[in-house]
Amino acid sequence: MEQNVIEQVFGTDVFNDDVMKAKLPKDVYRSWKKTLENGEDLDSDIANVVAHAMKEWALEHGATHYTHWFQPMTGVTAEKHDSFLSPASDSKPVLEFNGKELIKGEPDASSFPSGGLRATFEARGYTAWDCTSPAFLREDAAGVTLCIPTAFCSYTGEALDKKTPLLRSMEAVSRQAVRIVKLFGHNDVKKVACSVGPEQEYFLIDRDKYLQRDDLIFTGRTLFGAMPPKGQEMDDHYFGAIKERIAAFMKDLNTELWKLGILAKTQHNEVAPAQHEMAPIFTTANIATDHNQLVMEVMKKVAKRHNLECLLHEKPFAGVNGSGKHNNWSMVTDTGINLLDPGKKPHENILFLLFLAAIIKAVDENAELLRLSAASPGNDHRLGANEAPPAIISIFLGEQLEDIVEHIIKGDVSTSIQGGKLDTGVHVLPVLKKDATDRNRTSPFAFTGNKFEFRMLGSSMSISGVNFTLNAIVADTLQEFADELEQASDLDSTVRALIKKTITDHQKVIFNGDGYSDSWIDEAERRGLPNIKSMVEAIPYLVSDKTVAMFERQNVLSRAELESRAEINYENYSKTINIEAKTMIEMASKQFIPAIIDYATNLADSINKIAGACPDADVTVQTDLLKKVSALLAEAQNKLTALKAKVAEAAEKEEGQEQALFFRQVVFTAMSELRAPIDELELLVSREYWPVPSYGELLFEV
């Protein structure tokens, strides 16, 4: 029987476990596995042998270059390619790659955002091989390149990237979770890993039309655009039949992702026209993060092959839904127990309740930080706009878990629900079936059967931030729990009391209702839950004493690293809005206003000509239109002048928080004010005069 395409291509571009097993001497393979499993330091002899095997494999696949692939604070990946050519060669080329080159790279750190870390320390930067994420091959016009996932840090070891804190947080959560599970008799557990499955939303539009819009090219979103007669109101796109051109893209995308060992699983049309989603099967947080970066890269690349453009921006079009990313997250022991699975056996149920309590407490105590982990300039358009969760962090547990929680709080866990007798809070658990969890699409953090789903992320964001935040805050709470429980003389009663107290103290963060409703905003305020509306307002929480202490306790980020990240966030916000504002100025001055003047002139000519030819003719249509267009044109010109002035003023502000706030409060508002008259004009001006493709053409003509 012929092999299925998935079997044919899956993992063919990955230096995975199977390849290593086949390529490495047995003893080397075994010590390599041990290093990986026990998280020990890598022996340089082993690194040399692995490097050699990796090179041989890459050369067999036609590779000419290798690169340390890393994730600086730009949010996109970076790479610098070196060929395998050895400097020792003279007449005949010698292709080499040794352990040292595998383990360490030295890209110049000075051209990447460092948020001031470079000023205090050195310009030098290092990339260090992350042996927990497999190397892979990438084929493009440059040929085949061996890509080695790496972490990126400064001369003194400060993290300059998104991977380092994630790896540190995974160790932190494992350290504390292992302490807890051991107390409950799971002495064989050596490690607890976080599993992550990110669902990725995106738009696909025709590339020829994309290239006619400076706003899409420079900012990834439309900065002008009137709503077409049809939007998403018919609900006919979500899960709708997939168009041929899009289907061809998806087929190609899947093949490319499977080659990279990415478990592309689900694909469907999303709510907005031209919007789609891809979800892979979950894997460990670190690999999931690398894979998600690759997914975004490959989506962009494959789209171009189909003369499409893939938009990953959170809000490419006003008036229809934007794109997010759902981060499904759970904790699993190396013995295969999902600690977030309610399970059936009583001792596992206590464990589940304890982890649930820890998560509830961690989320409640660090709501601002979690909110920040979903903050980006693009995501400011979505959160709280009735298409994504509000900017208020709350937890959805579902009917049955909420019922259990309520009983635990009341202390009357001996009442029965669903026919079951409850002697303790534990006996109630067997009624929990995975499908008992109701769906609630409006909650930012929802329990979905055996995992939590964080729904606030923006589509273009790295998932590293939310995962290292979740890992760190949960690790911190578990540490507190473990400290208490390890001292307990009666573990059983202590743990029950701890669960009860924790859930009681933090019940305010649990909310099962409609997160999109206005009444929730008021209710959340009464409960004292923070509602942080924008990215700029969220950034200060990254450097609050509480946050710094927590991250430092868990060895995930130091104060200096956090301060640098806050700076980078402010800078990123200011630069993004500055580019958007300048693009608006450019488009308004050079495209829209000239086009509107042409149209108005045409109207005036028409009025004159008709009046000349036939003085009695009624020209009120043209005259009224000309008046309306001229008035809006004057308004647009005023708003353009105002926006220019504000952008100039912003440049004078002190970089950092002050400038970012000015962009948010003043420039951003001036941008909306310029957009309004131009969008209105789009509906009046004849189509042939309008200089850019309309929303209707972009969203429906694929």
C-beta of 192: minimal distance to ligand ADP in Å? 13
Which of the listed partners (ligand ADP, Mg ion, none) does 23 bind, with a CB threshold of 5 to 8 Å by partner kind?
A: none
Give the closest residue to 248 by CA, choosing from 279, 204, 283, 292: 204
Which of the listed partners (Mg ion, ligand ADP, none) does 137 bind, with a CB threshold of 5 to 8 Å by partner kind?
A: none
Cross-strand pairs, 126: 153
Kindly list the residues in this chain that would bind ligand ADP in the complex (CB under 6 A). Answer: 195-197, 199, 266, 279-282, 326, 328-330, 338, 450-451
Rounded Cα gap, residues 190 and 355, in angstroms:
17
Rounded Cα gap, residues 150 and 163, in angstroms:
8
Q: Which is nearer to ligand ADP, 295 or 503 (CB)?
A: 295
Q: Between residue 126 and residue 185, which ones bind Mg ion under the rule CB under 5 A?
A: none
Rounded Cα gap, residues 606 and 596, in angstroms:
15
Q: Which is nearer to ligand ADP, 440 or 450 (CB)?
A: 450
C-beta of 389: minimal distance to ligand ADP in Å? 14
Assess contact for 599 and 607: CB atoms under 8 A. Answer: no
Q: Which two tokens stand for residue 64?
A: 């000419």
Q: Which is nearer to ligand ADP, 239 or 518 (CB)?
A: 239
Rounded Cα gap, residues 377 and 194, in angstroms:
28
Assess contact for 303 and 207: CB atoms under 8 A. Answer: yes
140: which residues sit within 8 A by CB, 6+ positions away?
301
Q: Which is nearer to Mg ion, 327 or 379 (CB)?
A: 327
C-beta of 453: minimal distance to ligand ADP in Å? 6
Beta strands 324-333 and 395-396 are unpaired
C-beta of 647: minimal distance to ligand ADP in Å? 41
Beta strands 275-280 and 192-206 are antiparallel
User: Using the rule CB under 5 A, is 326 a contact of Mg ion?
Assistant: yes
Q: Which is nearer to ligand ADP, 107 or 197 (CB)?
A: 197
Q: Which is nearer to Mg ion, 147 or 446 (CB)?
A: 446
Rounded Cα gap, residues 195 and 154, in angstroms:
28
- CB-closest chain residue to Mg ion: 326
Assess contact for 390 and 367: CB atoms under 8 A. Answer: no
Which of the listed partners (ligand ADP, Mg ion, none) does 343 bind, with a CB threshold of 5 to 8 Å by partner kind?
A: none
User: Using the rule CB under 5 A, is 221 a contact of Mg ion?
Assistant: no
Give the closest residue to 372 by CA, choosing from 573, 575, 77: 573
Which of the listed partners (Mg ion, ligand ADP, none) does 465 bind, with a CB threshold of 5 to 8 Å by partner kind?
A: none
C-beta of 339: minimal distance to ligand ADP in Å? 10
Q: Which is nearer to ligand ADP, 198 or 220 (CB)?
A: 198
Q: Which is nearer to Mg ion, 316 or 324 (CB)?
A: 324
Please count the residues of this chain forming the interface with Mg ion, following the rule CB under 5 A.
1
C-beta of 195: minimal distance to ligand ADP in Å? 4
C-beta of 441: minimal distance to Mg ion in Å? 8
Rounded Cα gap, residues 288 and 143, in angstroms:
26
504: which residues sit within 8 A by CB, 6+ positions away?
408, 409
Which of the listed partners (ligand ADP, Mg ion, none) does 373 bind, with a CB threshold of 5 to 8 Å by partner kind?
A: none
Cross-strand pairs, 310: 204
Q: Which is nearer to ligand ADP, 25 or 240 (CB)?
A: 240
C-alpha 335: how far from its chain's center?
A: 29
Which of the listed partners (ligand ADP, Mg ion, none) does 591 bind, with a CB threshold of 5 to 8 Å by partner kind?
A: none
Rounded Cα gap, residues 339 and 173, in angstroms:
12
Q: Which is nearer to Mg ion, 321 or 507 (CB)?
A: 321
Where do runs of H (alpha helix) occur along 366-490?
A: 367-373, 399-410, 464-486
- CB-closest chain residue to ligand ADP: 197
C-beta of 412: minimal distance to ligand ADP in Å? 31
CA distances from 53 to 44, 58, 79, 98, 614 (A): 14, 9, 22, 10, 88
C-beta of 399: minimal distance to ligand ADP in Å? 17
Which of the listed partners (Mg ion, ligand ADP, none) does 322 bind, with a CB threshold of 5 to 8 Å by partner kind?
A: none
Task: Please identify, among the stretches 75-83, 323-331, 619-627, 648-656, the one whose residues bind Mg ion according to the rule CB under 5 A.
Answer: 323-331
Which of the listed partners (ligand ADP, Mg ion, none) does 275 bind, with a CB threshold of 5 to 8 Å by partner kind?
A: none
Which of the listed partners (Mg ion, ligand ADP, none) does 281 bind, with a CB threshold of 5 to 8 Å by partner kind?
A: ligand ADP
H or E segment and range at residue 625: helix 620-652
Q: Which is nearer to Mg ion, 306 or 326 (CB)?
A: 326
Which of the listed partners (ligand ADP, Mg ion, none) does 325 bind, with a CB threshold of 5 to 8 Å by partner kind?
A: none
CA distances from 67 to 24, 61, 70, 101, 178 (A): 21, 15, 9, 10, 35
C-beta of 446: minimal distance to Mg ion in Å? 8
Rounded Cα gap, residues 548 and 139, in angstroms:
42
C-beta of 111: minimal distance to Mg ion in Å? 37
H or E segment and range at residue 658: helix 657-662
Q: Which is nearer to Mg ion, 174 or 200 (CB)?
A: 200
CA atoms within 13 A on the CB side of 231: 10
Which of the listed partners (ligand ADP, Mg ion, none) does 447 bind, with a CB threshold of 5 to 8 Å by partner kind?
A: none
C-beta of 279: minimal distance to ligand ADP in Å? 4
C-beta of 225: minimal distance to ligand ADP in Å? 30
H or E segment and range at residue 360: helix 346-365
Beta strands 445-447 and 395-396 are parallel
C-beta of 164: minimal distance to ligand ADP in Å? 22
- x/- map, 267-306, Mg ion, by CB under 5 A: ----------------------------------------
Length of the chain: 702
Q: Which is nearer to Mg ion, 198 or 377 (CB)?
A: 198
Q: Which two tokens stand for residue 627?
A: 């008046």
Q: Which two tokens stand for residue 642?
A: 């105002």
User: Using the rule CB under 5 A, is 451 a contact of Mg ion?
Assistant: no
Indicate the SS3 state at residue 582. helix
Number of H helices, E strands in the chain: 25, 15
- Binding interface with Mg ion (CB under 5 A): 326
